[in-house]
Structure 1
């Protein structure tokens, strides 16, 4: 028996007439699951998963009171299946008319999976993605036996026909051509700011796709990092005018609540209702809901915004520190830098060409010998030699730069 991740066994299978490989769908047996940051390293200075290094922003409770409030809840009862109080606060925060425009999922990953299940027919229809991008779009497509069409972002930074300015921007004409040539594409997944690119997609480009009459499906904009991108950056402002738009957001990044797993879909009520009709009955737990409500109170939102400003300042300082190491073999930071991370290529000291082998070596030495964990992204299109580095606390950033300098000098 060959199952990815499971060591071969010499033990006979019982009962003898049963073969699990003949029961499991072939696309699942061949599936390569999403490799998350914690699969590799769980300890040290963790600058690999784009978490909020300053922690959560729940300011109304101390840690003991916060824990007691969760324990005092009716945990023996099933949770509220709708959580309209949370939806109302999110609608107000994002300037949407009412809670009917908000869906809550177990992280954005549940939203991605549900969108695929309700929109795309397995074995017949497809999604479109724009590499380099978030890996779960591909994993969910494979799980659901859905085809994938890939239209790379602008990898060179050149201004081509139908493209925006800058590296990792959308090449809108390429996407439109793909949509016109393949009517089986039902969903377009766009990441803004991008992961791993950190690049914001312009609202002009989004409107161009949403208005493109030959495409009859839905444009999904993943805005996990949108709060780091500044005012008027979000595609939520387009929801009133476009029923074919779904914006995903999360409490994992700017809110610093990756551990509670709460993702959002923001769209017009018809799509939100269909998502609601399809989800598991009690998908959001009572502890998650209580912590989310506390995070959405005004004092907590004020704290969140203060932490965002602090992280943006830290991002600028970290960017300068990385630039100061260029003579040791770091290339210029790439991407739009609109998120809470930076992407920098490791280059050959002589040729200045991005060097995947040297980058992987530095990544491993940083983690295994120095306790500083970043993310290797050199296998992504347009990201040769690249390390993705989450903006840490000032102390964490200082250690990162000190250790990175030593390793670059030695390698």
Structure 2
């Protein structure tokens, strides 16, 4: 059965992959909901049961103070945009998707899907591809925890094939994955976080290509690139979408375009603190993963938790304890903030470890 609404067939590689058999039958047969606004968006609009009198905003009705949050929001909009807030937005957002397609190097807006952050897109992939109580996906811990949470919400099994963590490598274990593909031919998805969370390490594109081309895995490879704009250029798997039919790349606007130069300063500051061990991972994201050492110079979850809680509860600095993740014993994850915030975090960590 063809996929309804799919206008362009996309790439035909790899030869062993076919999308249609992966989709839940009820989803494949689903008739897309359409409204008049899908086809007509100008003129006298009496199709969507909107309030034609305009938005109900105090500042527009009687020039009263709308409040700080509303005022800040309204300041970002033109008068024309404010006046049209009573209308539903475009159901397809084609102009925005065209801009994203051009920026990321994919053919056109049909290759872009918008969601409320990556989490909604991940959840939708589960609902489209995975039959509850039957299907399974693969994850490679340590990785983003929402893959497993969303699997549990959708009653989908999770097969974990850990990353190679020795010496802070945090790379895919290709041999173990190959064996897992062979033993589990019905896996629906594989989640690859690159740069990883909490590892901050890129997975090279040639490694991802080898996974895509592995004939033993017939599911969809989801490459989560929430932090890709902090990594060196030309490392995004978005380029693979043009070549491979079995890859889906998720990105988010909430993390990108940050302060990479300040990240380097934070790494240097943490490295000079007595009691801080290795800076793990590839530092390809907007955070730093560092070991907290005990009195014997060994990574310590106990010490890391103590530093984490004390900073949050009495020093006014909140970071993230990640020591429970595989290969991350004794680790704190410190997000790159402003230069002043980074100095304060390093100062408080140093004070607590002295």
Q: Same fold (TM over 0.5)?
A: yes
Q: Which runs of 4+ in 1 moved over 3 A?
A: 62-65, 67-71
Q: Secondary structure, in 3 states, of the residue corresponding to 1:354?
A: coil
Deviation of residue 400 (structure 1)? 1.1
Aligned residue number for residue 346 of structure 1: 292
Q: Does 1:401 align with 2:349?
A: no
Distance 2:183 2:79 in 1: 55
Aligned residue number for residue 272 of structure 2: 324
Aligned residue number for residue 35 of structure 2: none
Deviation of residue 77 (structure 1)? 2.2
Deviation of residue 67 (structure 1)? 4.9
Distance 2:270 2:95 in 1: 43
Q: Does 1:126 align with 2:136?
A: yes
- Would you say the 8 A contact 1:124–1:184 is kept in 2? no
Deviation of residue 362 (structure 1)? 0.4
Distance 1:70 1:202 in 2: 46
Q: Deviations over 1:182-218 (max 9, x none)?
A: 1221100000000000000001110101001121110
Q: Deviations over 1:333-386 (max 9, x none)?
A: 001100010000111122x21111111010011111110000000111111110
Q: Secondary structure, in 3 states, of the residue corresponding to 1:372?
A: coil
Aligned residue number for residue 207 of structure 2: 205
Q: 1:146 to 1:63 in 2, by over 3 A?
A: closer
Distance 1:210 1:64 in 2: 45
Among 287, 312, 327, the alignment partner of 2:260 is 312
- Would you say the 8 A contact 1:197–1:334 is kept in 2? yes
Q: 1:215 to 1:70 in 2, by over 3 A?
A: farther
Alignment of 1:9-408 (within 5 A): 65-67=75-77, 72-157=82-167, 167-254=169-256, 304=257, 308=258, 311-325=259-273, 327=274, 329-350=275-296, 352-408=297-353
Q: Secondary structure, in 3 states, of the residue corresponding to 2:251?
A: strand
| Structure 2: segments with no counterpart, 5+ residues | 1-71
Q: 1:73 to 1:103 in 2, by over 3 A?
A: farther
Name the count of aligned residue pairs: 283
Bigger shift: residues 398-407 or 215-224: 398-407
Q: Secondary structure, in 3 states, of the residue corresponding to 1:140?
A: helix
Deviation of residue 139 (structure 1)? 0.6
Q: Secondary structure, in 3 states, of the residue corresponding to 1:104?
A: coil
| Structure 1: segments with no counterpart, 5+ residues | 1-61, 158-165, 255-303
Q: Secondary structure, in 3 states, of the residue corresponding to 1:389?
A: strand
Aligned residue number for residue 27 of structure 1: none
- Would you say the 8 A contact 2:186–2:218 is kept in 1? no
Aligned residue number for residue 45 of structure 1: none
Structure with the bigger RCO (C-alpha within 8 Å, sep 6+) is 1
Q: 1:73 to 1:127 in 2, by over 3 A?
A: farther
Q: Secondary structure, in 3 states, of the residue corresponding to 2:88?
A: coil
Distance 1:394 1:383 in 2: 26
